Amino acid sequence: METEAAATSPPLHDSITPVPTVGIITISDRASAGDYADLGGPALKTVAEGYGWSVQSEAVIPDELARIQETIRAFSAQGCGLILTTGGTGITVRDVTPEAIRAIMRVELPGFGEAMRMESMKVTPNGILSRSLAAVVDQSLVIALPGKPSGAVECLNIVAGAVQHAVALAQRVPTSC
């Protein structure tokens, strides 16, 4: 239902700042092994395209620190100004997405994670357990979203209004601010 709302929303970009080019990374041991279908990546793709963003790259990888970092850096090198990850933001031993991102980031944007957690807690008290975050890696805005497809979509919708400006800043594009 959140996906449909985003898909019918007007695009979140202006005529001056470039439309974000997006990379989507699903981080899941089981989905990467083929044990079940990736639902989070396709859900995020639908939402991103609904916002008028161009999805350029997609990957499904295991919960492995080095693989997460390599994939983020590869997508950034390919020109993805916005990289969305889904999965690995919980508190199990294999949930290493925040650690992977923090080890390669230039700067963290704590407001993104704070807003996602605050709004998620209105849906479920377990929202407080999420370690979702946003950071600048190389010249890309990286947003780590929950692994549950509905949670990933909800969280992206919460922060979508700030994405275009944050991507422009990460890519050092002059802005009005």
Q: Where are the domains of the chain?
A: 2-8+16-170
Name the token pair of 154.
């909800």
Phi and psi (nearest 5°) for 109? Answer: -115, 85
Q: Quick check: pTM over 0.85? A: yes
The CATH code of domain 2-8+16-170 reads 3.40.980.10
Q: In 10 A of CB 172, how many CB atoms?
A: 8
DSSP 139: T
What is the block-wise mean pLDDT of the chain (177 residues), using blocks of 10 residues? Answer: 44 62 97 96 98 97 98 98 97 97 98 98 95 98 97 98 96 79
Q: In 10 A of CB 168, how many CB atoms?
A: 22
Helical residues (DSSP H) of 65-146, grouped into ranges: 65-77, 97-104, 110-120
**CA 137 – CA 117 distance, rounded (Å):** 22
